Chain A
Amino acid sequence: MIRFDQVTKLYKGNTRPALNAVSLEILKGEFVFLVGASGSGKSSFLRLVLKEEKPSKGEVHVLGQRLNTIASRKVPYFRRSLGVVFQDFRLLPNKTVFDNVAFTLQVIGKSKGFIQEAVPDVLKMVGLAGKASRFPHELSGGEQQRVAIARAIVNRPAILLADEPTGNLDPSTSAGIMTLLQRINANGTTVLMATHDAGIVDQMQRRVIELVSGQVVRDERGGGYQTQAVPVQQPFGLAAEEGSAR
Chain B
Amino acid sequence: MTRVAALQGIGLSKTFGGLKAVNDVSFEVPAGSLTALIGPNGAGKTTLFNLITNLFPPDTGEVRYFGTSLSGKGPSEIAGLGLLRTFQTARVFPGMTALENVLVGAHRQVKSNAYAQMLWLGGARREEARLTEQADALLDLVGLSSFRDVAATSLPMGAQKLIEVCRAMMAKPRLLLLDEPAAGLNDAETAELAALLRAVRDSGITIMVVEHNMSLVMNVADQVVVLDLGSFIARGTPAEVQRDRRVIEAYLGLQHGAA
**A and B bind:** no
